[in-house]
Each structure stands twice: as structure tokens, then as C-alpha cells.
Structure 1
Amino acid sequence: MIRTTAWTRFAGVILAVSGSLTQIPPLFAQSVPSGSSSSNQQVARPSTTSSDFFELLESGGDLLVSFFRPHDETPPVDQPRRNSLNSPRHTVETFLEAMRHIEAGREEAWPRALKTISIPEDNQLSGKQVAADLKAVLDRLPELSAGTLPGPEQVSDRDIRRYEIFPAGVDHQWIWDQASLAPRNAVSLKLTDGEEWKFDKETVQGIAELRENLRSIPPRENEDRQGELFLQTFLPMFENTPWWGWFTTLLGAGLGILAGWWGLAFFHRTAKSLEEQEHPVAGQACRAFGPPAVLFLVVIGILIGSGPLQVGATLGSYRWHFIELLLLVCFGWLLVEVIDLIVFASRKTLLNDGDVYMRMGTTILRRAIRVIVGVLLAVFVVQNALNVNLTAVLGGLGLATLAVSLAAQDAVKNLFGAMMVFVNRPFMVGDWISYDGRMGEVMDVSLQVTRIRLLSGEIWTVPNMHFTEDAIENLSLRKYLRREMNIQIPYDTQPEKILQAQELLHEILTSEDVTADGKCRPEEKQPSISFSHFGDYFLNLRVYYWYFMSPSGAGTQRQTERGWLSYLDHCSLVNQQIVERFNEEGIEFAFPTQSLQLSDDPRRELHLQMAEQASQAAESDHARTSKAG
């Protein structure tokens, strides 16, 4: 029997915390190593032989709670810890707790003990005698830890309807060696029609004989030890592994990680060198096979390094299953990279890699394949390696599944939006677009979002679902830019200067350097210059001319290196020539002004005299009209 000293409790807590953070696949019906010591008053007794990772984790949780909570005495008879028959675990706990109360003289616990037993109506033995015999038998069997008995979850998942504690559930060979007579009876529980787990009729009928057969085996001490299964599993590893075993483990894991880091750097350098030598497929192959190979090296290092650890049967099985899980992940990763490499190589060798649409399509295809293979691999691991029934899990989640499905609506909309972008092609990666009042270059189109680098340098992330409804202006599909200018000259400009200004603008826009920079052919696209209107303080000359993306006029911005920034350079060239030519000819530009005329201005004398004469004439007419009346 293991003594839970302060050191063992502390070690158990550390292992419980680390075990709860490590996802190791469950392994049902595995052996648990026995304790390292035994009582002087009883035969060395093995533990039960049925456990899985989640039961082991539950036992570690019990140990963790008991470490921080003072050890409780037996609970009051009217406040039982367990009073349920919904699983073999709960039935056995209910029975044993009630029988401890009865052994302490608390007779009121009998109804709770008797309700766990299916006593036939024709049985001549009393229920109390059957319960006492059953308790005596259970005290002589290998230790029954709560974590080793199926709980409600295990009963539901495995559809268990009968559970045998003895001989199937314990080390029966040890019983045969220690018993005076070979036992012929069993201890088992069945699920009744009322959906309650009880010790069955066969157990009741043979329990007296079984007690007699086990009389030579002394009973265990009645101790309530929390986390016994966890300690029995992990403590032998600390007690039996020598110091050099731990050193070898750390050395092997360290060498595996070091080899993985070196291998990753090697593959990265090799891929970069191949890409610089214009071997993109070979470089991509190095990038594809590098990470899975590194993971494989790390797994091998862990496997070799953990060899000297005396982990026992249960932890040994967990270790092998954990290694299998890592190798499965490595294989799945390699499969994803191989498919991705095939798509990449097909685009480079068989398809037109210069086609922007083809590049974006293969990028989306590669990402979709990664997601599909990753999901299939995760489902395979969960259902096979972890032995989890996904259908039952999803069905049991109920409202949580509904909430997740509602929350995933936007994700589905974004995925549909990505498909629409791929099918309708409103833009491509590398295109300049204007959306929602912002302008930038499309950097990436993923399955959920599109990333746009704005002119100011920021990355703007837009969910793909917006592109199925909102209008988008694709600037990269335009063949030319038509520029509109308003040249404003002051009101005191002479008429001949206005005509001269229009002629100068025409000469500038049809000059060789401007048309060459704008790739414009004046014989096809003549600039338009007009005296358009009178402004508040200016005379307006409106100018239209064209800036083409290609010399032929048929190429789009996407097909050339020209764009918004080159257009701004062209505007600077035209503006500079306009300023220079207007200054040479003495033509001024208008700026906001307001004219004020003073009353004593000599240039206004004629106007004032005419106003006085008009006033006097009006007075004379009024006087003649009055006399006539």
C-alpha cells in the first residue's frame, strides 16, 4: 500500500497538472503497476487492471483537490458523498460508503446499502447478510479505485449493460494463488429495467461461497485515499528510474530538438539557394519536406531518449500511442505538402505561370486542399487514435452545436465570397482597387479575407462576403486615365491673351515629350481645350487629355508597370511646362480676389455726374406734373 507522504503528494500534484495539459490517447483495459510497498498485516496486493487515460486524469484531479483541501472524515450518514445507481462506479461507491457507516454502528445506512443489491424473491438469505458477505469479498479483492470503474460517460459511450468486477476486472491470478480454494463465483453488476446498476442475482446467490473461498486473504484497511490510481501509475517511474535514465531522456529530447532546428535551417538555406538559381520547384520541395522531416527527427529523439524511463505498462502504452499520434501528424503533414507541391509544380511547368488568374486560382486551390486534408486528418485522429465518437459528441452538444453553427455563418459567407471572387474575377492579386472610399493594392485573397495595402502603407483586411454585394472599382483594368484640368486666369486678361493661353495648352499637350510620356497619339485622341465659364474671380479654361497604359491603347494597367504613381509623375511634367510657358508669355493665374471702388476715385467721376443729372431730371418731371394738376 502506498503511503501518501508530503513528497508523494507534491509529485502527484505536479504530474496531475502536467497530465491535464497533455493530450494522450486513451487506452482501455490496460494494466496498472502495483504499489511499491505493502502493509505488514496483509498480503502484497495488486491494483485493479482496467484503466484509461481519462480515468487516470480523474484520479489525478482527486489527488490535486485532496492536496489543497484537508483530509475529510467519513461524511455524515444523512449527507452521503454518493447516493446514485446510474453507473457501476456510483453503485460501488454508494454501497461501500453505506457499509462503512454500518460498520461504525450507524444502522440508518442500511436502506442505502440494500438498494444496490438485486435480491431474488425466493432467496432465503437476508439482504443484510448478503451485503455483509459482499463487503467482505470486496475488501479481499485487489484495490478498487473509483477511477477504474466505468462512470456514466463510459457506460453511455461503450453501451455497457453488464460489468464484472471479479474475476474479469481484477488480477484474478493473484486471487487464485492466495485463496485456499479456487473461486467459482463472480461479482458483477447489471443494468436493470429501471435504468439502475445493481449487483446481479448471480452475485447474490454465490457471494457466501465466494467469501468462504477468500477467507485466507486478509481484508484491506478501510482508508479513503484520493488519487490512489494516479499515484500507483506515476510514482514507480520516479522511484525506479535511475538518475542516468533521466539524463538520457533529457539528452535524447534535447538532441532531437537540436537536430530538428538544424534540419529546418538546412532546408531553408537549400530552398533559398535553389530559388536563387531559378529552380523554384526544387526550392518548394525543400520547403515542403523540411518541416515534416524535422518533426520526424524530434519524434525519434523523444522515442530514443524516453527508453530508459521505467514507465510501467500503462504509461508505456500511452507513450507508444503518443508517438503513433505524432507520426500520424507527421504523415498527414507530409501528405498535405506533397499535394501542395504537385499543384505548385503543375502551375510552374504545365500551366502559364504568368497568368494572374491562374496564380490566384492555384493559391486558393492549395489552401483549400490544406484545409480539407487537415480536417480529414483531425477527424481520423479523433475517431481512431483518441477513440472519440464524433457523432455522439456533436449530438450531445445540442445547443452548443447550434450556437457554433450560427456563429459560423459569417465564415461560410466569407468562403462563398472567396468563391465568387475566384469565379467572377472582380480583381486579382496585385490589382489596384478602390473600395469603400479607399484605394490600394490587393496583396492576398484567402478563404476568409482579402488583404489590401493602402497607399498610406497599412494593410486593410476586408471579409470576402462584402465583395458579393458592394461595388468595387478595379483600377488595374483601365486602359487609360482621362485627366480634367481647370486653368483659371484673372478677369483683366485681354481677349487675345485668352486665345494665346488656349494655343499654349494645346502645344504643350501635343508636344513630343508629353505624348511620349503619356503614350498618347494626338491624331487619335486630341486634347480638348475650351473657355468653359466665368467664375467668381476668374475666367476658366477647361482641359481634357488622356494618359494611356500602353502605346497601342489596348493594354490595361495590370499588364504594364504603369499606374497611379507613374500618372502622378506625368501630371508633374505637364504642370511644370504650363507654368513655364505661361510665365514666358506673361499670362497670369487667377487667385481669389475682390475689387473695391471708392467714391472719390477720379475714374468714377463720369458715373457720378450722370447719376446727378438723372436725379435732377426726375425732380423736374415731378414739378411739371404737379403744376399741370
Structure 2
Amino acid sequence: MNKPLFLLFFSLFAFSQSAFSQLITDDQKLLQLEEGVDLSSPYHTTLSFFYNLERTNFSPDLAAKTLDTRNIDQDPKDLAIKLQQIFEGKGVIVRTSEIPNDPDYADSSAGGEHKFYFDRNAMPGIFLVKRGKQWKFSPFTVAQIEEIHRETYPFGTDKLLNILPKIGTSEYLGLQLWQLVGLGILIFLTFLAHLVFTFLVDRVLIYLTKRLGYGYIGENYLLPIAKITSFYLIVVVLSLLMRVLQLPAEIWSWVVMVFNTLKPFLITVIFYKIVDIIAAYFSRLASRTESSLDDQLVPLIRKTLKALVILIGTLFILRDGLNFDIIPFLTGLSIGGVAIALAAQDTIKNFFGSIMIFIDKPFQVGDWVTSGDIDGTVEEVGFRSTRIRTFRNSVMYVPNGKIADSVVDNHGLRKYRRFYTTLTITYDTPPELIEEFVKGLREIVLAHPDTRKDYFNIYFNNLSAYSQDVMFYVFFEVPGWPEELNARHELLIQIVKLANTLGVRFAFPTQTLHMETFPEKKGLVPEYPGQASYQENLRKFLDTELKKKPD
């Protein structure tokens, strides 16, 4: 082969279907390849391997010389062809201008050993090593070729590599006939798979869920997940079958990147939808509990899980789709996280405070709580703060970190609500009347449906400056403050009626000037009829007021 023709051949070779995008055109090196192989450097070994596997210069026996086949019983030529198919199937572009031409090249990331890796992410097990003065594909790589080839072309798709080219190798639009036919078949199968999955999802899935009584769950939760899953399965099948077409490396590398991006993206969307199902399940569990704090926890769990799914999905998209090394990113993120944590101490404190609130459950939505200046009803518990509605109808947003460190008095968790007051009666009230009045008060408490019957204290217990004092100490067994107020109202009405029936007068702060009683005038001090009359009046009150049948 003369020199101009040989250079022309290599110019065409640069644009052909291969794993190269750039070639060295050094005359002396090309002549060395024409005679056989050159294993003096990683660059020459790579050039020798791919050059001898080109269709126009197909010499697998020469390409096999680049493999270190010691202790390997398989056909070296077959292994060389499969290794080339691995490069093409994974869409790895080997840029010869970036391959070291130094015979003594040492990889600093591999401990200074004489190794050269083509792509650590896509093909970590395929690399060159130096043996003596020759660079060859390592024995480890050669031993892994069969396994990597099966991973690249799974489910028997590798057999299509030998069947499809028999259709024809004539070139049209830069592709061979069998590649164009295979591409048309894939397009047809894609539309067919879409129709099949659409039928299975829209018809069969909905029908089955309705028959089982879960039609709402099927339409609102399972159907979106099934649709995304069908798209994911189509992408997976296409990524497996398109490798068989052996498209030019420059095109196939972009196709591989698209597929590798779509896969983690669709999986992220699937898990994003699954979070809604998990949240619906927890919401159903929360509705069965008496605590309303669980109802606030479900939205927070849903938001947290969705944020976590998006974060992890983004990392996988960067790693698998864009070949982005996320290890330095995660390392930098951890270092930056320390700085962020120092700058956002209060936010982190409030976050952990909210976690402690949900774990300890010191209160729930609707409870009346007091803590220092905080006094109101809990309306919402968030990740950062708790919203409390005060009795002035204003809203307080209290950081959860402050609540977690404070003493909280939860009035909403009271089993009984205390009612304590002092009934002041005038000093002219006889002891016998006071005794009957106290008895009537106790009967009022026992007759009321919302009072605690096993513990209450009603006694004549003090003589103050202007009155005789009766302690009225009772408890209500009611769920909330409005019910407590209503119980107080009913109890006080009965007390006033009792006092009016017995003739007990309530005292208030006054100053009384006592004068001698004039013969022709009646004194201001009332005349009390006596104990028998008191008892009769109490009996009438009990019969008429406390023994009434409810309407």
C-alpha cells in the first residue's frame, strides 16, 4: 500500500464507525501498524487494537496480540472482537489524543503502577498494564471480557450481533443496511410496547382495583406509578436492544447518556409517587388515633420523604447520566454542611425541637397550653415553629427549640378541670342555715352530670373581714374549655337558686353602722325562722330543682 493511499484510508477511518474520534497521523507510526502491532506505549497498543478490528482492515489475529492471554484457554481472536463490542456497546469514546504516549507511563491514582484506564466509571475492569517493554490489556481484563460482554448484551442479545449483519452491509446515510432495518424494528417495537402497556395500565389495572374495592387508590395512586413504570421498562428495553445496532461511537455515546439519564430520572419519579401512597397510608393510621398531632406529622413526613427522594435521585442522575463524580461533591457538601450548620444553629435547633415534640407529644392540635408568655390554643406544629392562637385571637409563632427547652403546662391533657371559688355570706347568717346551705351545695355537685363525684371539698372554712366564707372546690370531667364554662354556668345558677330558696344573702365589701334599735322601728337585721324551717326549705329545693327530669 503506497503512502498517499494509506493516509487516505486513515482519514476515512477517523469518520467511520469506531471507538475513536481523533487519530495520530504520524507516518512512521502508521507504517509500523501496517506491518503488525506496536505495543510500546498505551497509545500504540490502543491504536493497534482498534485499527486491526476495522471493517476495512479486519485482522482479529493481530488485534488479539494486544491481549495478555496467559492462562486463558479461549480463542484470543474471539475475545478481541468481544472486547471491541464492549467498547461500542457502552458508548465509550476513546480519544487517542488523550492517551499517553509515554512508554513508562505511571498512573498516580493507582499507586504509581504502570496502568492505564480507559473509563473508570463505565469500564473500571478494562485497563492496560506494562509487562516488560510491552503494554497489553491486563490478564484481569481478559479474564473479565466474557462476563462484561454478557452484562453489556444481556438476555441473549449478543446473538443478534451475528444475525443482524447478515441482512446486508451496504451503507445508506452513514449507516449500514442492517442497522437501518434494526432501527426501524426498534421504533415499531417501541410503539407496540407503548400500546400494550397503555392497555394493561388503563384498562386491566383499573378494572382489577375496582373489582377489589380499591378503585380510588387505583386511579389516584397506582395509575400514575404504573404509567411511569411502563415508560421506564420501555427505556430499559431500548437501551438493551440499541446496543446491538453498533451505532457510531460519537452518536451512541450521546444515546447512552440520554438513556442513563432517563433511567434514574424515571425511578426518581416513581419513588416520588410512591411517597404519596405512603403518606396516604400514614394519614389513614393517624385518623384512627385520638391525637391530632399525628395529623400534623403526616404532611411533614411526606415533604421530608419527597425532598430526600429528589436529592438522592439528583445524585444518581449526575453520576449515571452525566458521568459526574459525586464523591468530591459529597465531600465538599459535608465540609460545607459544617459551615452551614454553624451559621444555622437556631434553624437546626428548631428542627430537632420539632422532632422532640412529635416524639414526646407534650401537646396536640387543639390543646390549651401555657409557658411563660405563651398562652393559647395550638393550631399547627411545623418543622421550625408552632402556631398558637391566643385568647385575644392573635397568632403566635413560637420556635420549636424554645418550646422544647421550656416548661409547658398543657391544660388540654387535664382529665379533670378544677373550679375553685369562695362563696361569701353575710355575718348575720345563723350557723344552722350555713350548715343547711353547705349540704345543699354538696347535693348540687352530686346531681350535676359533669362533676367529679369521688373528690370535692365544700366547707365553711373562713371568717373574713366582711363575710363568712364557704370554700367551693370541685372538678369537672369535660373535654374542653367551652364545656367547662357551660358546666360552671349550670352550677352557679343552681347555687343562686339554692341561696334564694334558703334565704342566704351573699356578702360584698361594705361598712355597716350599727345603731340602737328604736322601739317604734324595726331593725335592719333580718329575722331567721329557725332550723326546722331551713331544713324544710332545703327539702323543697332538692325536690323541685335537683330532682327535675331533663327535658
The question of a shared fold, defined as TM-score above 0.5 by the shorter chain, is answered with: no
> Could you state the TM-score of these two structures normalised by the residue count of structure 1?
0.37
TM normalised by structure 2 equals 0.42
